[in-house]
Amino acid sequence: MSQSQTAIGGDDQAGVRVLTTLSEDEQMFRASVHEFAEGELRPRVTEMDAQGKLDPALIKQCFDLGLMGIETPEEFGGAGSSFFTAIIAVEELSRIDASVGVFVDVQNTLVNNALIHWGTQAQKEKYLTLLASEKVGAYALSEAGSGSDAFAMQTRAVDKGDHYLLNGQKLWITNGNEAEIFILFANANPEAGYRGITAFIIEKGFAGFSVGKKEDKLGIRASSTTELILEDCQVPKENVLGEVGKGYKTSIETLNEGRIGIGAQMIGIARGALEAATAYTSERQQFGKSINQFQGVQFQLAEMATDLEAARLMVYNAARMKDAGLNFVKEAAMAKLYSSRAAERISSKAIELYGGYGYVKDYPVEKYWRDSKIGAIYEGTSNMQLQTIAKLLIGK
């Protein structure tokens, strides 16, 4: 093994047990994101959660640090790094605040990835460059009546010669308030069913496009979740992403990658909750000693740590498979399914270990639990992950 690698089970520079070989560059990157999250993000978490809004200064810092274009090729202003590196960033940010974790995640695993894989050279030069330097992106697939059944979408695109005219409404769009560039799906040929679905690149300033209501959510409150409204929205023909009628393929393949990103968000949440619970149980005194000296508490911490270790291994493995060009669909579904459940279990147990203090906002663990719940819902519900895994297992 070279000196530039850390073996399985070794400690990285951020004090985290790693479950896969990390290069020296990956170790340094993790350490830098860890430092940023502790120094710049942690002091803002409570206020952003209460206000339900990301600090604009923090958004700028994410761009300045290169976190918004991790996989984007250097020719377009990005870091030209790996998918696994993006996963490290999402995990480290989510350990402090899952809202910032998903903000960076959507930009990298969904928006940038869709453009990298499906964009023309001209689209990449224009949009990837902007997304790496200053513009936030969003991914608009879901609708009020089109969630797990994404192909039931009602948003329509009509060919008008030199442009398309889009009408419809999108719902549950992460980064909706901050975004200026949207990967948006509409059906250009409803008679063809899902084979009419087409992906479009929408700019916030396009005529007929507007951002609607911002949702008041249980968790990840600083992350904006909005509706999008299209009323005769004019989209130039050159803003079709990929082929007309092949948007279903774009959405499926992009979301497969996005699920690993959500898995990284979940293990970040779980890490934060476990670290908080471990620290608290060493400080809390009952019956003349720290409560972590009681075997019952020790066993609970051990179960939480084991759950986290298994979840992180699954997420890292799926990310490595993606970078290696292997088929990772089943592994991505498993990683998202398991990590979301683990995050909810670990954060819930952390609340119990805190006792009454865990139930109030003066302490961090109630937020970890609130943030964890979304993992079982967005980018494919847990039932949809089970369906994917089952189909791939039985070959149907």
Q: How far apart are CA 80 and CA 116, in angstroms?
A: 11
Q: How far apart are CA 90 and CA 101, in angstroms?
A: 5
Q: Which residues contact 7 (CB under 8 A, 6 or more apart)?
A: 1, 21
Strand locations in 114-264, DSSP E?
137-140, 156-159, 163-174, 181-187, 197-203, 209-214, 225-236, 240-241
Active-site position among 91, 331, 344, 379: 379
> Which residue type is seen at 393?
L
Q: How far apart are CA 293 and CA 49, in angstroms?
A: 34
Q: How far apart are CA 396 and CA 79, in angstroms?
A: 39
Contact 70, 85 (CB under 8 A): yes
Closest Cα partner for 269 from 183, 374, 118?
A: 374
Q: How far apart are CA 56 and CA 50, in angstroms?
A: 15
Strand 181-187 to strand 137-140: parallel, antiparallel, or no bridges (unpaired)? parallel
Burial of 41 by CB count in 10 Å (0-12 exposed, 13-18 middle, 19+ buried)?
A: buried
Active site residue 379: yes
Report in angstroms the alpha-carbon separations of 204 from 78, 164, 201, 252, 257: 22, 16, 10, 24, 25
Contact 18, 34 (CB under 8 A): no
Phi then psi for residue 180, to 5 deg, are -125, -10
DSSP state of 222: T
Angle (nearest 5°) at CA 223 between 218 and 224: 95
Task: Count Cα neighbours of 153 within 13 Å in the Cβ-side half-sphere.
Answer: 31
Residues labelled catalytic: 379
